[in-house]
Structure 1
């Protein structure tokens, strides 16, 4: 009995040792399980059921809904977990549970350095890109082919990639956490046949004004070497291109939020970007981009873009562009552009465009266009537009356009208003002093009527509507002087090969000795026109006149204009019937 205390202690020790031994056996248990295309949490539950234990993990740190598969044949639970989760998770056993949690690394810095050489010749290779994709750290080899990469201990292994134009990409998996010397040999590409090369706007971003000025030669070399590598990240911030959270790989990363204190160079934005001075993006920009001075985008823009001076987009725009000076787009615009001075679109425009000086569209335009000086469209235009000086359309013009001096179209089918309207062919309506077209209506007429002895009129437009610029005078310069000038509209209707019916409405100011408050004369004058030859016609017909005299009587020797048989219309207007007759040329 004296040995009983020793026996109790021995049994207690064995039990204490057996419990952790049993627990440690959970990860070593062998199971067989084959599943494919199932959520990760479903596979873990099946493994736990097979092994007779439970898993414990934080659903926020483990992608339980991700779809994957497993194929175990009498293998350990640890082997199954390593195949499912990789090296970034660790496991701990307690009781009947296996706890899964993310592996924690110390984050200490270490370096990997060495030489990059040609595998065939052994020569050192300069300007090769050496980078770690997950940490977005990259360097270029120097003229001796040497590189030094400084990394953080965040993963169990370092995935090192070497890229160089004319060589195959090379990837190495190296242990992390300690300084390493690693020379890398890369294989040159062997071209058996020429592959088609597509030049995209992304490859031209370095050729823009901002690209040439702000991007260093190192960044341009990195762009060439890493043309096939792009990553997505939630955010980035930088001081200038290459000096920010993504370092020299900033041009290979598409961000949801991008903040550039002075300026930045990224692969693209899928959210919001703000630049104190400028933003340069290699690919597309979505939603919102704002810069104090310039935005330059190698792809397209979808959303809102604001540049203090300029927006330059090498592809298409869908949304709103606002710039203090100019917006320049290489392809089509579907939205609204506002430029302080210019808007320049190489292809089509839809919706609206407003500029202080010029709007230039390389294709067709549909919608609203307003330019302080000129609007120029290389294709067809349809919609409403106005310009301080002129509208130029190399194709057809439909809708309404007005200009301070002229409208020019290849063919015109809508309504245009300007002092001078020019078209190769016109079937619409033009209002102005002169309207010229190859198939249009042109007449120079000399006529007499009961009010003024000599009337000279130039008529231009088409048969549906022509404009009349006219002037008149009385032949008696001693006792019945009068001078007039005015504008009118007319229409002609053909009654045969030689006979036509014309209707004209004119208004003219009459000078009777004073330029102040001159009397005004309006006339409605239908007539029949008979063509004597190709370029000569005579016309005659009745007319009805309404005269609005000035309260000031005519000067000495000037006509009173109002005939004796005039009719009282109102206190300030008199009317009468009369006639006209004349000859037309052209």
Structure 2
């Protein structure tokens, strides 16, 4: 038999004395002396802030948030917590206190909360219940291995706790308790003491220390540990579609139990997440080198990671990450991500993302390249995609084969199909349509430009809210009577019109498109220039192989805000429907074009316009 000394009511002090010894026989009359004692939270010896002696004045009754701000100001303490679990507006009573800091925090906030340390912060977490370990047994095996088993139960109800994480803090091999609360844990190469960690979501962390009756030596190979603070616990990779698809239920339970706790390791190899050199604890380890044949699940990467199919990382990735399928990261990425299908990052990327399918991230300070789609809240660099670029906020530039969409585009949007900027943009170039509020540069589209303000729109049709729109009725020297709609910005505008020839041997109807520029826009006098192309049709609306290109200067007299008239001299090139000259060479004429010859000639048009 043996004795287990349970933690006292305060639960934060190390039990300073224990009863020993017990002897029991294991395999060939082998006797081992051991003593067992339990303490709660992380190893007290590793705590500095929480174990320090403090003398606190009485702060009285005040909200939790104000209380923590006061401790930060008076004692230089920094706290981190999930606002969904800790109500900062709830009132607490902070009386005077003389003792250790963790006792003071527990007396103020209550026993439902537990506390952990990082290098800079004290992590406040919710732990409504406590656990106890019973019937601990040690089975010494050959090849320097030890099997540790026991039962984990709820301290109040004495009911077994299933799916509690149990792990060796020396080797970080891990397991879960079964439905009866029973666990078996293989410990490799046990030295002077074995430290077992027990964690379960909403329960206070517990540590089980097994000491051999020999001199305790300092562990020179102790692994570096850390704690990752989740700013938003709802944004967890296991709550994403890909994270859930590439992980097991046990891994998700393990992550919930251990929270942001992780350790560092130089390397790991895995066939699948369940078959790893780190065993069941692999998803809580940050590796320098991570090689996953099919896929792997780790806490993060601080070096390089390769996978045949997928990489799944709970927290940060720094360095190079490559996968034949997908990379899924719950924290930030600093470096380069490359994937055959997609990269998904729940927070920020500082570097480059390359994927054959898609990239998805919160903020990118670098470049996104994808064969199909890039998605981000903010991109402080550029996006290049064969299909679609999508940004909810700000992006420097976007280049896509199909579509670009952003709120504010500081540089250029270039797309084979559509550009959309919900707010402002530098310049837009699209094969079909541009849409923006304010365009600081040029808008170029084969069909349509739409915007609130754009000084240099170039398209067949422009609709600029704060720009120019007018209807013009005009007749030129060839007896062509045309009605044109002109729209655009402060400087450039487009012209689209239809008309009919009043007297022409070959042509009956015409369709005209053009680009114009406002040179002078005075109170009584205006001057503009236009370059137009007119296509001809016969009386049956059949297209004819003939056209007219015109460069005209248009001085206008302004009657009022809406009405103006103009007389515009022009230089024209008229292509005849049938050419008498077999060589088809153009001839020069001072006035009008020849009916049977391609002609360079002067002309004039007079018109009345209504601006609105």
Which TM-score applies when normalising by structure 2?
Answer: 0.67
User: 2:396 maps to what in 1?
Assistant: 366
Q: Within the alignment, does 1:136 sit opposite 2:161 as a pair?
A: no
Preserved contact between residue 544 and residue 577 of structure 2 (Cα < 8 Å):
no
Cα distance change on mapping 1:120 and 1:500 into 2, 3 Å: same
1:381 is displaced (CA, Å) by 0.8
1:165 is displaced (CA, Å) by 2.2
Cα distance change on mapping 1:169 and 1:463 into 2, 3 Å: closer
Counting only pairs closer than 5 Å after superposition, residues 164-313 of structure 1 correspond to structure 2 as 164-175=200-211, 199-200=231-232, 204-313=236-345
Which TM-score applies when normalising by structure 1?
Answer: 0.70
1:322 is displaced (CA, Å) by 1.3
Q: Deviations over 1:222-260 (max 9, x none)?
A: 111111421000000111113211111111110000011
Preserved contact between residue 106 and residue 153 of structure 1 (Cα < 8 Å):
no
Counting only pairs closer than 5 Å after superposition, residues 320-339 of structure 1 correspond to structure 2 as 320-329=352-361, 331-339=362-370
User: 1:506 maps to what in 2?
Assistant: 531
User: 1:162 maps to what in 2?
Assistant: 198
Which consecutive residues of structure 1, in runs of 5 or more, have no partner in the other structure?
A: 1-104, 178-196
Cα distance change on mapping 1:323 and 1:202 into 2, 3 Å: farther
User: 2:421 maps to what in 1?
Assistant: 393
Q: Deviations over 1:34-82 (max 9, x none)?
A: xxxxxxxxxxxxxxxxxxxxxxxxxxxxxxxxxxxxxxxxxxxxxxxxx
SS at match of 2:434: strand
Counting only pairs closer than 5 Å after superposition, residues 335-346 of structure 1 correspond to structure 2 as 335-345=366-376
Preserved contact between residue 242 and residue 249 of structure 1 (Cα < 8 Å):
no
> CA separation in 1, counterparts of 2:324 and 2:147?
38
SS at match of 2:315: coil
Which deviates more, 478-487 or 301-310? Answer: 478-487
1:456 is displaced (CA, Å) by 1.9
> CA separation in 1, counterparts of 2:510 and 2:464?
31
Preserved contact between residue 444 and residue 458 of structure 2 (Cα < 8 Å):
yes
Q: Within the alignment, does 1:415 sit opposite 2:442 as a pair?
A: yes
Cα distance change on mapping 1:410 and 1:481 into 2, 3 Å: closer
> CA separation in 2, counterparts of 1:371 and 1:505?
32
1:484 is displaced (CA, Å) by 5.5
> CA separation in 1, counterparts of 2:602 and 2:168?
96
> CA separation in 2, counterparts of 1:510 and 1:131?
81
Preserved contact between residue 164 and residue 198 of structure 2 (Cα < 8 Å):
yes
User: 1:384 maps to what in 2?
Assistant: 412
Q: Which of these residues, 551, 569, 579, is aligned with residue 553 of structure 1? A: 579
> CA separation in 2, counterparts of 1:258 and 1:223?
19
Q: Deviations over 1:539-580 (max 9, x none)?
A: 12240323254594279xxxx998664799xx9863325342
> CA separation in 1, counterparts of 2:507 and 2:261?
91
Preserved contact between residue 325 and residue 339 of structure 1 (Cα < 8 Å):
yes
Cα distance change on mapping 1:162 and 1:203 into 2, 3 Å: farther
Q: Within the alignment, does 1:470 sit opposite 2:476 as a pair?
A: no
User: 1:59 maps to what in 2?
Assistant: none
Preserved contact between residue 201 and residue 314 of structure 1 (Cα < 8 Å):
no
> CA separation in 1, counterparts of 2:449 and 2:233?
38
User: 1:431 maps to what in 2?
Assistant: 458
Preserved contact between residue 435 and residue 460 of structure 1 (Cα < 8 Å):
yes
> CA separation in 1, counterparts of 2:502 and 2:385?
51
Q: Which of these residues, 445, 457, 460, is aligned with residue 472 of structure 2? A: 445
SS at match of 2:483: strand
Counting only pairs closer than 5 Å after superposition, residues 341-360 of structure 1 correspond to structure 2 as 341-345=372-376, 347-360=377-390
SS at match of 1:332: strand
User: 1:152 maps to what in 2?
Assistant: 188
User: 1:51 maps to what in 2?
Assistant: none
> CA separation in 2, counterparts of 1:214 and 1:425?
46
> CA separation in 1, counterparts of 2:484 and 2:322?
57
Could you say which structure has the larger radius of gyration?
1
1:123 is displaced (CA, Å) by 3.0
Cα distance change on mapping 1:364 and 1:220 into 2, 3 Å: same
1:334 is displaced (CA, Å) by 1.5
User: 1:56 maps to what in 2?
Assistant: none
Preserved contact between residue 465 and residue 491 of structure 1 (Cα < 8 Å):
yes
> CA separation in 2, counterparts of 1:148 and 1:512?
90
> CA separation in 2, counterparts of 1:433 and 1:217?
58
Preserved contact between residue 260 and residue 276 of structure 1 (Cα < 8 Å):
yes
1:274 is displaced (CA, Å) by 0.7
Q: Within the alignment, does 1:110 sit opposite 2:135 as a pair?
A: no
